Amino acid sequence: MQFVIASHNKHKIEEFRRILEPLDIELIEAQLSEVEENGETFIENAYVKAKSACLETGLPSIADDSGLCIDALGGEPGVRTARYAPKGQRKKTVLMKMKDVPDDKRTAYFVAAIACVFPNGDVIEVEGKCYGKIGYECKGEGGFGYDPIFMYGKHSFSEMSPEEKDAVSHRGVALRILEDRLKEYLRK
């Protein structure tokens, strides 16, 4: 079965494929209209993107919205994660804001909300979280986005292999929930 993935982020697309393709779901990319992400929650933004992609293509569509929430910053960057600071300055901005925050107050979590919209109007929505801390500097060469400063145990997400990250990450958690929900849905 073909599903459109409503994302232009190659890293997210790779994560989706690693987890969902074993379900015999073929994830295809399409040239889609840009959708304004003006929701107040991650799931609202994911739904808007998935619904738009479904309407444009006539195929079931999957989209996510994800972000980093830092307790010491009152939940920032939150739903504004991708727009928190100019591109190339986001990690630096977080590290600067966190420079005087002690280790026990550096708690943070990633959220991934995924919406799957079907042409018949059915919707599946799931959310996954991963708890960790904000590091003091960028570590590792892998990953993307805020991965180099997000510490899960003793390692940043950027220091993990894709398989290690998938096992614990917010998107990995959400995709496994989606996998279960899709299996149930497709059996009907």
- Please choose, from the candidates 35, 29, 27, 31, the residue with its C-alpha nearest in 3D space to the C-alpha of residue 52: 35
| pLDDT computed for residue 174 by the predictor | 94
Count of Cβ atoms closer than 10 Å to residue 106 Cβ = 18
Under-50 pLDDT residues of the chain: none
| pLDDT computed for residue 155 by the predictor | 96
CA–CA separation, 67 and 71 (whole Å): 13
- Please choose, from the candidates 60, 44, 49, 59, the residue with its C-alpha nearest in 3D space to the C-alpha of residue 6: 49
Catalytic sites, residue numbers: 65
pLDDT tens, residue by residue, 61-102: 999 999 999 999 999 999 999 889 988 899 999 999 999 999
The reported pTM is: 0.91
Domains of the chain in start order, with CATH, are 2-187 (3.90.950.10)
Question: Count of alpha carbons within 13 Å of 121, Cβ hemisphere only?
Answer: 0
Whether the CB-CB separation of 94 and 77 falls below 8 Å is answered with yes
**Residue 38: exposed, middle, or buried by beta-carbon count in 10 A (0-12, 13-18, 19+)?**
exposed
| pLDDT computed for residue 1 by the predictor | 83
